[in-house]
Structure 1
Amino acid sequence: MAHGANIASGSARRPVLSFWQIWNMSFGFLGIQFGFALQSGFVSRIFQTLGADKDVIPGLWLAAPLTGLLVQPIIGYLSDRTWHPIFGRRRPYFLIGAILSSIALLYMPHSPTLWIAAGMLWILDASMNVTMEPFRALVADKLPEQQRSYGFVVQTLIIGIGTWVASNLPWFVTQLGVSNEAAPGVIPPSVQIAFAVGAFAFLACVLFTVFTTREYPPEDLQHFEAEKAKGRFFADIVHNVRHMPRQMRRIGVVQFFSWFAFFAMWSMATPGLTEHVFQAPAPDFRAYDVTVPDQAAAFAGANKAFQDAADLVGAYMGWYGLSSMAVALLLAFYASRRVLNRRAVHAASLVLGGLGFLSMYVVPSPVWLIGSFALVGVAWASILSMPYALLAGCIEEKRMGVFMGLFNMFICLPQIVAALGLGAIVKHAFDNHAIYALVLSGCSLLLAAVFLLRVSEHPTLEPVPEPAHG
């Protein structure tokens, strides 16, 4: 190990890392975000191309939060109890998840039917979660307390870059001359190529972190192995849920409303904005007899309008990644020199994001969506960094991985609620106008800002009693 086995495990004794050391350990997030941005920006488009109705799209997304709810606590628990003399604690999970994610990204846009596409989403999201959770824990593992806000902000900067680039890939591939049209029920070649590029980027970026970053070994390997031998997975998980720190529960409520908002955007932005802003809803190919020339021409025209609009929705959505990157740069610059008021930054960011969602309902022309998504990006930058910085100080380091995984419950549960109920709300309460899902997103972020008032800016360490192993 480059840092030697004599470095103690306490965060106060961790050496201060340079910007490039933090950049290298976080660079794999660029690849992860290629996967998440392609998933969030274009999976609903794939579902609609394969014939999904608007009101069933959130339900088709149910796989994503369900896999996160199951996978992240398990991976967090296992990575806490893993040590390999070459690959370390977290990096084996980076590598396994990256390989599986890249395979799923390659196959996803070639799905021949809707149910296969939904199944591929399940596999893709599970694989990305295997990779993502250990990256969060790695920041807490390697950085001293005074650098953790900085570390999470650098991760957010990298995530912003990945979001913007990946969100524009189908549009960019189309500009290179690859068609964004295809036969009824077939995913366009531009989307297929974009997902292939994302698969390569995912694996390459994670490999960069695996080979440029080293992890600190346990201070006492013999004690570490003895503690690992005593573990009982399900009993330990239940014990940790019961004794969850108070700060974590309070941030969890804020996370619930924050992630409800973004799930609604990911699942409903394409149907909502193509219909409401671009006036180009997805045509249902089952309603056309393409053997009749007039109907074939009508479908082709409507499908081209939708695919062009969907390209632009994805490109405009990328601006929330670009905006989050700019905000992360500012926060990184500030946090490297001064102490951030994390709660105030997060509250202001959530309010701006809420206003960005609400503005989508009243934009006078499509290009104004750039401003709307830029405001959403301010909230996104904060959501990806400030809650984790507020949380890390109240968790014991030996349980950092499992609690970061359990914290993911507050990300997955709101998405499950949205997946189960959002389609019915849009269909029955809003007369199937998907734009109102984005209005709900705005209201949800404003509620999150209100609940943030209960969160402490300076949390104290809350030791969790050891589980009883009979």
Structure 2
Amino acid sequence: MQQAKPNLSFWQIWNMCFGFLGIQFGFALQNGNVSRIFQTLGASIDELPILWIAGPLTGLLVQPIVGYYSDRTWNRLGRRRPYFFYGAVLTTMALFFLPNSPSLWMAAGMLWILDASINITMEPFRAFVGDNLNEKQRPLGFSMQSFFIGIGAVVASALPYMLTNWFDVANTAAPGEIPDSVRYSFYAGGIVLFIAVLWTVMRSTEYSPTQLAAFGEAHEEEVAGTNQRRYWQPGTIASVVGALSLALVWHFSLDQQLYILGGAILAFGLLQYWVSAAKGKGHSGMVVQIVDDLYQMPGRMRQLAVVQFFSWFALFALWIYTTAAVTSVHYGSSDPTSAAYNDGADWVGMLFAFYNGFAALAALVIPYIVRRTSLQIAHCINLVLGAAGYLSFLVIKDPALLWISMIGVGFAWASILSLPYAMLADVLPAGKMGVYMGMFNFFIVLPQLLAATILGSLVNHLFNAEAIYALALGAASLLIAAVYVLTVKTETR
């Protein structure tokens, strides 16, 4: 007879989620300052997206792999906590090294290491809630994570501004050198991240496989060596589209970063053929099982994938281009060595702090909106507010008033971090919680990969390298997500 998973106390849930404060501290420092670091080291506006490609590519590779192995891990640290700890060690080291990069390509390489490390730490946290909390308490767990995300991001985003204006730390430096305000912020981020994650590792426990079996949540479904033909059609389509894309980029001498998009599509197509052959031989290793699970994802997850895709495309546009947009339009400078540029970049950090602060407040309001409407309508409303916030950058001329834009962005951010997971939670197979949470992040990193490969071309060729219009594209993407979420059916699997 299966046992009921017991309720945990408020402080047990607090300890479980506290590590997210540190993770988001590091993530917010990256989002708010990496474009600034790249421009300081000589990157042009149209080069920024391709330099940011580390995030989506590492997430695409690391998250499902970590999810797969964490589903199968059990040692003295537990199931998910080993990944928290070792990922935190690597992330802390990367945060210390990144702002000391001597060249642009060294900084780009360090961003790859930082993103991979953050993904190792972050991916199992969603599954951690699913493992330890029963269905009734899971919404509280995800809300607690969102709370710590907001707190960590507010402080981290504002840190360069606070160091400059409160402690007289220099926010300018010689050409090609990173200002002290940025470097010291990354050092503080590394320390905060490690301490916060270590707190969760040391102060939390996990259920053993035997205990999960008693709750009926430890089963795993292995992939049979049959049905290999199901991969041929998508494999053929992806291979043809990828190869054709590469040929067009070469023939018309298009931006070289588009080779990455075509190559990724071609690689996905070839992977389908490889999986088909492996299944025909009876193999059922990690790659085969991940790809097979991708085809067997619940119907609701497929619908939410579209919503996530357009939501995160918009977020990536915000993270890449806000610094360039605000410094050039609102502060009148695109020179990373000028005081005006660095004042604007510091203010962007504060704006990111504002939207995370508003997100923390929005987390208190969103449950009320859900009760009065539905999960779909509430998410739609919040995404529309986010689109309005993006568009207001084109209307508001006084940079001191841009905090108003962050109200809508904050509501959208809080909603994106919580409501899709609330709609998804009860349709995921419990024994594959980690791999499906990692797989759901495909639809976070794929739009980022697309943004990294085409946003630079769009901004450069369509908008004459005016970064402000990347935010208009982000607004359009949020509106598409807002409309589509209304079609998500939460009644059926």
Common topology (TM > 0.5):
yes
Aligned pairs for 1:432-451 within 5 A: 432-451=465-484
Q: Does 1:110 align with 2:100?
A: yes
Give the Å deviation of 1:459: 4.5
Contact 1:93–1:134 (CA under 8 A) maintained in structure 2: yes
> In structure 2, do the counterparts of structure 1 residues 371 and 199 end up closer, same or farther at CA, with 3 Å as the change threshold?
same
> In structure 2, do the counterparts of structure 1 residues 226 and 182 end up closer, same or farther at CA, with 3 Å as the change threshold?
closer
1:384 partner SS: helix
Q: Give the TM-score, by structure 1 length.
A: 0.87
Give the Å deviation of 1:410: 0.2
**Matching residue's letter, 1:78:** Y
* Offset from partner CA, 1:148-182 (integer Å, 9 cap, x none): 22221211111011111000011111120111111
Q: Does 1:184 align with 2:175?
A: yes
How many residues align? The count is: 430
Q: Which stretches of structure 1, 4 residues or more, deviate above 4 A after TM superposition?
A: 220-231, 331-335
More deviation, 180-189/143-152: 143-152
1:139 matched residue in structure 2 = 129
| Uncovered stretches (5+) of structure 1, i.e. residues with no partner | 1-5, 284-299, 461-470
Contact 2:351–2:402 (CA under 8 A) maintained in structure 1: yes
Mapped partners of 2:175, 2:397: distance in 1 = 32
Task: Select 1:237's aligned residue among 279, 286, 290.
Answer: 290
**Matching residue's letter, 1:93:** Y
Give the Å deviation of 1:184: 0.5
Contact 1:94–1:134 (CA under 8 A) maintained in structure 2: yes
Mapped partners of 2:115, 2:325: distance in 1 = 23
Mapped partners of 1:442, 1:218: distance in 2 = 45
Task: Select 1:41's aligned residue among 29, 32, 45.
Answer: 32
Q: Does 1:68 align with 2:59?
A: yes
Q: Does 1:387 align with 2:387?
A: no
* Offset from partner CA, 1:221-243 (integer Å, 9 cap, x none): 89969989996201111110111
Task: Select 1:254's aligned residue among 282, 307, 318.
Answer: 307
Mapped partners of 1:245, 1:222: distance in 2 = 22
> In structure 2, do the counterparts of structure 1 residues 433 and 334 end up closer, same or farther at CA, with 3 Å as the change threshold?
closer
Q: Does 1:402 align with 2:435?
A: yes
Task: Select 2:325's aligned residue among 264, 272, 275.
Answer: 272
Mapped partners of 1:393, 1:257: distance in 2 = 23
Q: Does 1:318 align with 2:353?
A: yes
Mapped partners of 1:437, 1:391: distance in 2 = 30
Q: Does 1:373 align with 2:412?
A: no
Identity of aligned residues (%): 52
Give the Å deviation of 1:16: 2.3
2:265 matched residue in structure 1 = none
Contact 2:46–2:459 (CA under 8 A) maintained in structure 1: yes
Contact 1:346–1:382 (CA under 8 A) maintained in structure 2: yes
Give the Å deviation of 1:332: 6.4
Give the Å deviation of 1:206: 0.2
Give the Å deviation of 1:18: 3.0
Q: Give the TM-score, by structure 2 length.
A: 0.83
**Matching residue's letter, 2:39:** Q
Mapped partners of 1:399, 1:459: distance in 2 = 19
> In structure 2, do the counterparts of structure 1 residues 88 and 331 end up closer, same or farther at CA, with 3 Å as the change threshold?
farther
> In structure 2, do the counterparts of structure 1 residues 364 and 222 end up closer, same or farther at CA, with 3 Å as the change threshold?
closer
**Matching residue's letter, 2:112:** W
Q: Does 1:364 align with 2:417?
A: no
Contact 1:317–1:370 (CA under 8 A) maintained in structure 2: no
2:78 matched residue in structure 1 = 88
Mapped partners of 1:447, 1:75: distance in 2 = 31
> In structure 2, do the counterparts of structure 1 residues 459 and 323 end up closer, same or farther at CA, with 3 Å as the change threshold?
farther
Contact 1:55–1:432 (CA under 8 A) maintained in structure 2: yes
Give the Å deviation of 1:142: 1.4
Aligned pairs for 1:284-433 within 5 A: 303-331=338-366, 341-433=374-466
Contact 1:426–1:434 (CA under 8 A) maintained in structure 2: yes
Q: Does 1:59 align with 2:50?
A: yes
Q: Does 1:218 align with 2:209?
A: yes
**Matching residue's letter, 1:315:** M
Give the Å deviation of 1:21: 2.0
Give the Å deviation of 1:433: 0.3
1:184 partner SS: coil
> In structure 2, do the counterparts of structure 1 residues 310 and 451 end up closer, same or farther at CA, with 3 Å as the change threshold?
same
Contact 1:81–1:228 (CA under 8 A) maintained in structure 2: no
Contact 2:220–2:431 (CA under 8 A) maintained in structure 1: no
> In structure 2, do the counterparts of structure 1 residues 458 and 209 end up closer, same or farther at CA, with 3 Å as the change threshold?
farther
| Uncovered stretches (5+) of structure 2, i.e. residues with no partner | 224-282
